[in-house]
Copies of this chain bind each other. A is one copy, B any other.
């Protein structure tokens, strides 16, 4: 019945929720825009083990192209999340690694990946039949 709405009305946000919901959405927006692209989190996740070279990263991330890897790496470097060490030697070698800042993000990324690993089946089940009988 209609009693479901009795638990809490005033759908706005009159409560003193200390969280940062959407009021300060500006920097959330910025962070989301940065990490919300197709590869950033993958690269960060790949870097969790330590130093990695350009080609190793590319090998590590199946479908990524040079362009996307370079772009992502540049953004990450610009934002101070990864370090870039270039050895201007005969065989060019460039190594990337997470900065402490990047590592802190990686911690959350790891949580996200963990969550994905833990719930992707459930999501797929729901996607097949949204709370209803199986459709396939």
Contacts and interface: CB of A to CB of B under 8 A. Distances in A.
Interface of A: 2-5, 7-8, 10-13, 15, 17, 19-22, 24-25, 27-28, 30-38, 41-42, 45-46, 48-53, 55-56, 59-62, 77-81, 85, 87, 91, 95, 101, 104-105, 108, 110-117, 119-120, 122-123, 125-127, 130-131
B115 A104 contact: yes
Number of copies: 2
A116 to B, nearest CB: 4
16 contacts: A5-B95, A7-B55, A12-B56, A13-B49, A19-B113, A21-B48, A22-B42, A22-B45, A22-B61, A27-B116, A34-B123, A78-B126, A78-B127, A79-B126, A80-B126, A111-B111
Contacts of A62: 22, 25
A12 B50 CA distance: 10
B113 A11 contact: no
A56 B7 CA distance: 9
Given A32-B41, A46-B21, A60-B13, A123 B101 contact: yes
Contact of A53 (B11, B25, B101, B116): B11
A115 to B, nearest CB: 6
